[in-house]
Amino acid sequence: MATEIKYDAVISDIDGVVYKEDVPIWENIEGLKLLQSRGVEISFLTNNASTDKEELTKRLTGIGINIDESKITTSGEAAAYYIEKNYGKAKVYVIGERGLIKELRKRGIEIVSDDEIADFVVIGLDRSVNYEKLSNAVKKIMEGAKIIVTNMDRLWPSSKGFKIGAGALAKAITYSTGKEPEVVVGKPEKWILNLAINKLRKRNYVLIIGDQLETDIALGVRNGLDTLLVLTGISNVEDASKSIYKPKYINRNILEFLGSGARI
């Protein structure tokens, strides 16, 4: 059934919506391009901190989505902004990849090595993490460093199936230390939504598009925004039937959503 609301902006996830790892999901890409052609403002909000905004902009424009870097929000950016806003300069030990490190350094935050004291341990997706690195993070926390987590995603959708997410790494560290994060900055927390919303020119009717009930859909439901669950990533119809977070729309992909009679 067609909605009577005309959305003037879309906040879309990336992993599981635009890509599965490096493989484009063309039905969603073409749908986002169609939305742009109809005058809908498109922005992206991702929990994946492994890639920085500059690189994401190049990847998205390379597949035909005309997007400015200012319309992309990552959990790495949110973590860096949180530290700067609340603490100013700080020394940080990172479980994460170059995208997270780059966003932290943009804000003047110092990245420390294994044998240096840290004010914070920032945890994101890290596909090269090992036992020693996790143990070093635990040591720094036991010495007084606070924990900041980019997101608590259990899984992320790769081109070869599901892989563990940043949340799994965070759980290993919090279990070992007995200490909880000071903050989780990524979806479904409102902190990161506020960053993304403030970048929009048009904010009256916003639709959130994502593939995960626990993050994308929960973010919208908690904050009174309509949501579209696309079945190209993590969550499926059965998951949705059991979840407390009910998407307004469920479609196989964005093109199907646009063809279903939804008024955009």
Active site residues per annotation: 13, 15
Contact 153, 166 (CB under 8 A): yes
Task: Give CA–CA dist 124/167, Å, rounded.
Answer: 8
Q: Taking CA 97 as the corner, what is the angle to CA 24 and CA 54, rounded to the nearest 5 degrees?
A: 55
Q: Rounded to whole angstroms, what are the CA distances from 96 to 7, 10, 123, 134?
A: 35, 28, 6, 11
Rounded to whole angstroms, the Cα distance separating 189 from 192 reads 6
Give the residues across from 210 on adjacent strands.
229
Q: Is residue 50 within 8 Å of residue 100, measured between CB atoms?
A: yes
* Helices 75-87, 98-106: inter-axial angle, 10-degree rounding: 30
Angle 74-75-80 (CA atoms, 0-180°, nearest 5)? 100
- H-type helices in the chain, by residue range? 26-37, 53-62, 75-87, 98-106, 131-142, 166-177, 190-197, 218-222, 237-242, 254-259
Is the link from the previous residue into 188 a cis peptide, with omega within 30 of 0?
Answer: yes
Return the C-alpha torsion angle 112, 116, 118, 124, nearest 10.
Answer: 50
Q: How far apart are the first and last CA of the chain?
A: 13
